[in-house]
């Protein structure tokens, strides 16, 4: 599912910003864009996101902008200055008359001026609080999209239920019509066989043969059982959506079962109405499957 959230907090040391965004994915794929000096906080952020969501390609950006140096926020690195003084003395002993470094050069030396260090525990607490705020907003944005997806899925379920309701009364009629046609054709065929053969079937044997063939054919084209299972699967899909929670994988399974019944209906279709209904069902199921893969 897609989602987006961003939050910022100010502290005496600087500005923290956390941005989270996601796109659709069947699995959970986490990517982090974090300043190097905050990289140690990644495991905690990863755990917080994994506790909140289970699907999606998620990118988190964490940045920390330090405030400009102010009075009292900087200090001299005395041990480094002492070391520079010692080294400068050794150089002067080797090269008498060499020019010593000026104050400006010393202050520009890397590490001579130290900024006030930010407490790691304090920074970690600030990041944790901001992450919780951002993740909550991120989850809410995904929930809003989830509500829209649920409405779409329910509309597809209703459309499929209408198809099942429309074709269910046709099944007995289709079976009866084909049985009648089969009886007539087989009677004609067996009648011709009786006229042209000395070993013609008796009337009783012919009727029994017709009865067996018609029963077998009726069983083969009867899709009442498939429609019953299809209705049960649609009811269960409604129940899963209504119950909520982590429904993605369960709905994935239901899409497989719905598609199985729609395919069987198409394979058994003996009239155009049933074949058309199978195609309509498979189209609706495919539309649902594309969206279900985005749900948690």
The pLDDT assigned to 73 comes to: 54
The pLDDT assigned to 33 comes to: 92
The strand pairing partners of 8, in sequence order, are: 17
- Secondary structure of the chain as H, E, C letters: CCEEEEEEEECCCEEEEEEEEEECCCCEEEEEEECHHHHHHHHHHHHHHHHHCCCEEEEEEEEEEECCCCCCCEEECHHHHHHHHHHHHHHHHHCCCCCCCCHHHHHHCCCCEEECCCCHHHHHHHHHHHHHHHHHHHHHHHHHHHHHHHHHHHHHHHHHHHHHHHHCCHHHHHHHHHHHHHHHHHHHHHHHHHHCCCCCCCHHHHHHHHHHHHHHHHHHHCCHHHHHHHHHHHHHHHHHHHHCCCCHHHHHHHHHHHHHHHHHHHHHCCCHHHHHHHHHHHHHHHHHHHHHCCCC
The pLDDT tens digits of the residues spanning 49-63 come to: 999 888 788 999 998
CB–CB of 261/233 below 8 Å? yes
Token couple for 128: 């944790």
Q: Which residues of the chain are under the pLDDT cut of 70?
A: 1, 12-13, 66-74, 113-121, 174-222, 294, 296
How do 56-66 and 74-76 pair as beta strands? unpaired
The pLDDT tens digits of the residues spanning 222-281 come to: 677 888 889 999 999 999 888 877 777 888 889 999 999 999 888 777 778 888 988 999
**Domains of the chain, earliest start first:** 3-68+122-141 (3.30.230), 74-115 (no CATH), 145-292 (1.20.140)
The pLDDT assigned to 192 comes to: 47
CB neighbour burial string for 122-157, b if at least 16 within 10 angstroms, e if fewer: ebeebbeebbeebbeebbebbeeebeebbeebeebb
Give, in order, the Cα–Cα distances in Å from 192 to each of 182, 185, 259, 268. Answer: 15, 11, 44, 30
- Residue 291: name the closest of 187, 122, 157, 161 by CA: 157
d(CA 61, CA 5): 11
- Residue 258: name the closest of 105, 108, 112, 153 by CA: 153
């Amino acid at each position: 599912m897609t989602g987006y959230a961003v939050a910022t907090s100010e502290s005496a040391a600087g500005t923290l910003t956390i941005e989270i965004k996601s796109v659709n994915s069947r699995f959970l794929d986490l990517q982090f864009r974090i300043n190097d000096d905050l990289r140690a906080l990644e495991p905690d952020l990863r755990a917080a996101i994994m506790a909140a969501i289970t699907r999606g390609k998620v990118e988190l950006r964490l940045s920390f902008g330090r405030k400009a140096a102010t009075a009292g926020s900087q200090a001299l690195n005395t041990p480094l200055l002492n070391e520079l003084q010692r080294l400068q003395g050794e150089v002067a002993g080797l090269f008498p008359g060499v020019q010593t470094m000026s104050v400006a050069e010393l202050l520009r030396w890397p590490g001579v001026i130290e900024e006030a260090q930010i407490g790691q525990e304090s920074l970690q607490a600030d990041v944790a609080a901001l992450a919780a705020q951002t993740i909550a907003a991120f989850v809410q944005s995904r929930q809003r999209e989830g509500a829209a997806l649920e409405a779409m899925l329910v509309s597809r379920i209703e459309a499929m239920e209408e198809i099942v309701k429309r074709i269910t009364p046709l099944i007995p009629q289709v079976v009866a019509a084909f049985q009648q046609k089969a009886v007539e054709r087989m009677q004609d065929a067996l009648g011709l066989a009786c006229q042209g053969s000395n070993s013609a079937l008796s009337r009783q044997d012919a009727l029994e043969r017709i009865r067996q063939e018609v029963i077998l054919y009726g069983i083969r084209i009867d899709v009442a059982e498939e429609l019953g299972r299809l209705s049960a699967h649609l009811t269960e899909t409604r129940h899963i959506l209504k119950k909520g929670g982590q429904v993605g994988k369960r709905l994935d399974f239901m899409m497989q079962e719905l598609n199985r019944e729609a395919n069987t209906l198409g394979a058994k279709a003996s009239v155009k109405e049933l074949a058309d209904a199978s195609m309509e069902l498979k189209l609706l199921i495919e539309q649902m499957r594309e969206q279900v893969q985005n749900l948690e």
